[in-house]
Chain A
Amino acid sequence: MNLAVELAGLRLKNPVLTASGTFGYGVEFAPYGDLTELGGIVVKGLSWEPRAGNPMPRIAETPCGMLNAIGLQNIGARRFVEEKLPLLPWAEVPVIANLYACDVEDFARLAEYLAGQEGVAALEVNISCPNVQAGGVLFGQDPAQAARVTRAVKDRAGTKPVIVKLSPNVTDITAVAKAAGDGGADILALINTLSGMAVDVRTRKPRLANVIGGLSGPAIKPVGLRCVHQVSRAVNLPIIGLGGIASAEDLLEYILVGAWAVQIGTANFLRPDTAFRIAADLPQLLDELGVTSWEEFRGALA
Chain B
Amino acid sequence: MPEDTLMAAPAASSPVCREFTVSELRRTGSESGLASPGGAGPDHSHWLLDLELPEGFPGEDGWTPGQFVMLRPVSWAFEPLWARPFSICMLERGVLRIFFQVVGRGTRAMSALRRGDRVVVWGPLGRGFVVEPETPTLLLAGGIGLAPFIGYARRHPRPDQARLFFGHRPEIAEYPLDLLPKAVVVEASRQTCAEEMACFVGDLERWIAEYAARQGLILACGPHPFLQAVQSLAVKHRARTQLSLENRMACGVGACLGCVTKTTDQALPVKVCTQGPVFWAQDVNLGGAA
Indicate with 1 or 0, residue by residue over B257-289, a CB within 8 angstroms of chain A CB atoms: 110110000001100001000000000000000
Please pick, from A28, A65, A246, the residue contacting B255 in the complex, using a CB distance under 8 A. Answer: A28
Contact A73 B268 (CB under 8 A): yes
Residue among A53, A66, A217, A269 having the largest count of chain B Cβ atoms under 10 Å: A269
Contact B268 A268 (CB under 8 A): no
Q: How far is the CA of A32 from the CA of B18 in the complex (A)?
A: 10
CB distance from A268 to the nearest CB of B (A): 7
Chain B CB within 8 A of A63 CB = yes
Which partner residue on chain A sits nearest B274 by CB separation? A28
Binds B, one of A54-62, A142-150, A158-166: A54-62
Binds B, one of A95-103, A177-185, A270-278, A293-301: A270-278
Contact B82 A61 (CB under 8 A): yes
Please pick, from A50, A63, A268, A269, the residue contacting B79 in the complex, using a CB distance under 8 A. Answer: A63
Please pick, from A246, A269, A273, the residue contacting B250 in the complex, using a CB distance under 8 A. Answer: A269
Chain A CB within 8 A of B20 CB = no
* B15 proximity list for chain A (CB < 8 A): 31-32
Chain A CB within 8 A of B112 CB = no
Q: How far is the CA of A217 from the CA of B250 in the complex (A)?
A: 12
Contact B255 A64 (CB under 8 A): no
Chain A CB within 8 A of B248 CB = yes
Contact B269 A73 (CB under 8 A): yes
Q: How far is the CA of A178 from the CA of B258 in the complex (A)?
A: 34
Which partner residue on chain B sits nearest A32 by CB separation? B17
* A57 proximity list for chain B (CB < 8 A): 248, 258
Considering the complex, which residues of chain B in the window 31-75 have a beta carbon less than 8 Å from any beta carbon of chain A? 72
Chain B CB within 8 A of A206 CB = no
Q: How far is the CA of A44 from the CA of B255 in the complex (A)?
A: 8
Please pick, from B16, B253, B261, B269, the residue contacting A28 in the complex, using a CB distance under 8 A. Answer: B253
Chain A CB within 8 A of B215 CB = no
Contact A64 B260 (CB under 8 A): no
Chain B CB within 8 A of A211 CB = no
* B274 proximity list for chain A (CB < 8 A): 28
Interface size on A, residues (CB 8 A): 37
Which partner residue on chain A sits nearest B273 by CB separation? A28
Interface size on B, residues (CB 8 A): 29
* B256 proximity list for chain A (CB < 8 A): 22, 59, 68, 70, 269
- Mostly helix, strand, loop or mixed at chain B's interface? loop
Which partner residue on chain A sits nearest B256 by CB separation? A269
Residue among B120, B122, B250 having the largest count of chain A Cβ atoms under 10 Å: B250
CB distance from B270 to the nearest CB of A (A): 11
* A44 proximity list for chain B (CB < 8 A): 255
Considering the complex, which residues of chain A in the window 253-291 have a beta carbon less than 8 Å from any beta carbon of chain B? 266, 268-273
Indicate with 1 or 0, residue by residue over B96-138, a CB within 8 angstroms of chain A CB atoms: 0000000000000000000000001010000000000000000
CB distance from B284 to the nearest CB of A (A): 13
Contact A70 B257 (CB under 8 A): yes
Contact B257 A269 (CB under 8 A): no
Chain B CB within 8 A of A89 CB = no
* B80 proximity list for chain A (CB < 8 A): 61
* B252 proximity list for chain A (CB < 8 A): 272
Chain B CB within 8 A of A23 CB = yes
CB distance from A196 to the nearest CB of B (A): 14
Q: How far is the CA of A186 from the CA of B255 in the complex (A)?
A: 28
Q: How far is the CA of A56 from the CA of B262 in the complex (A)?
A: 10
Q: Can you list 15 A-B pairs, Cβ within 8 angstroms, ordered by A?
A: A24-B254, A24-B255, A29-B253, A32-B17, A53-B260, A58-B258, A59-B258, A64-B78, A66-B82, A218-B78, A269-B83, A270-B83, A272-B122, A272-B252, A272-B255
Residue numbers of B with Cβ under 8 A of A are: 14-17, 72, 78-83, 120, 122, 247-248, 250-258, 260-261, 268-269, 274
Q: Which 6 A-B pairs have the closest CB atoms?
A: A59-B258, A24-B255, A269-B251, A269-B250, A64-B78, A28-B254
Residue numbers of A with Cβ under 8 A of B are: 22-24, 28-29, 31-32, 44, 50-53, 56-66, 68, 70, 73, 75, 217-218, 246, 266, 268-273
- Can you add 15 more A-B contacts, CB < 8 Å, to A24-B254, A58-B258? A22-B255, A28-B274, A29-B253, A29-B255, A50-B268, A51-B268, A52-B269, A60-B248, A73-B269, A218-B81, A268-B255, A269-B81, A269-B83, A271-B122, A272-B255
